[in-house]
């Protein structure tokens, strides 16, 4: 029986994968691993940029309200319009009845106040756009911050110099924790809470018993 020799013909079998398949495989693994780490990191970094936090960009409002005129020129205190800031978590926005307390006599026929008059007489509140926003999973209480001596300007900036209010602070967790870890630099006398121009002088000694908590449940409940 002939078993065949060295010169017998054998069929040529082509490899299932090309020579570059191994390199492509490992490159794909590397890209997927980089994406798994890089995309979340990119999203976290983006969330801290002014583009995401809305810093320095005044949102359009239904009524033009110039804080420079009302706060600086007319001397209206922050708590006159945002009275709930001392007693509740939210500062609140004034009702149109508060607005009309003055504007029933001043600029009562101004076209800029047409929506305010319509809201007052029609009983429909004006839908203002929030300037300072925080996620739903974050709890923030205005009243405790004011009671401890944190001024309005610390978080909201010099609204008395803004034609249209915009957010000046990033309100990220790091920003909040930096203040909680070193609150002394942000405290002032309680009678200067709404003073936009107050500065700490040699005669003022911040209270030493203000120690804000930094545990997770303080803000995430």
> How many domains would you assign to the chain?
3
Q: Is residue 207 part of a domain?
A: yes
Q: What is the pLDDT of residues 78-119, one digit of tens each?
A: 999 999 999 999 999 999 999 999 999 999 999 999 999 999
In a shared domain, residues 43 and 106: no
Q: Do 119 and 170 sit in the same domain of this protein? A: no
Residues 41 and 111 in one domain: no
pTM value? 0.76
pLDDT (tens digit per residue) in 136-189 = 899 999 999 999 999 999 999 999 999 999 999 988 899 999 999 999 999 999
- Tell whether 212 and 158 lie within a shared domain: yes
pLDDT confidence of 6, banded at 50, 70, 90? low
Give, in order, the Cα–Cα distances in Å from 210 to each of 55, 91, 156, 180, 217: 28, 22, 21, 9, 18
Asked if residue 121 has pLDDT above 90, the reply is yes
116 and 203 in a single domain? The answer is no
Domain extent for 107: 95-127
């Amino acid at each position: 029986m002939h078993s065949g020799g060295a010169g017998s013909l054998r069929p040529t079998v082509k490899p299932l994968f090309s020579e570059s398949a191994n390199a492509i495989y490992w490159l794909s693994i590397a890209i997927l691993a980089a994406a798994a780490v890089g995309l979340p990191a990119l999203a976290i970094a983006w969330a801290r940029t002014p583009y995401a936090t809305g810093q320095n960009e005044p949102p359009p409002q239904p009524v033009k309200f110039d804080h420079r005129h009302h706060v600086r020129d007319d001397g209206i205190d922050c708590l006159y319009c945002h009275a709930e800031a001392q007693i509740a978590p939210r500062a609140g926005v004034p009702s149109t009845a508060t607005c009309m307390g003055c504007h029933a006599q001043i600029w009562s026929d101004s076209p800029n106040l047409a929506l305010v008059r319509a809201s007052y007489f029609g009983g429909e509140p004006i839908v203002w756009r929030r300037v300072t926003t925080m996620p739903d999973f974050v709890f923030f209480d205005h009243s405790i911050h004011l009671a401890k001596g944190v001024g309005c300007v610390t978080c909201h900036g010099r609204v008395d110099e803004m034609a249209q209010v915009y957010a000046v602070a990033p309100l990220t967790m790091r920003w909040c924790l930096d203040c909680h870890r070193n609150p002394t630099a942000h405290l002032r006398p309680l009678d200067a809470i709404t003073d936009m121009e107050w500065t700490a002088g040699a005669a003022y000694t911040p209270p030493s018993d203000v120690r804000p908590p930094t545990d997770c449940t303080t803000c995430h409940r």
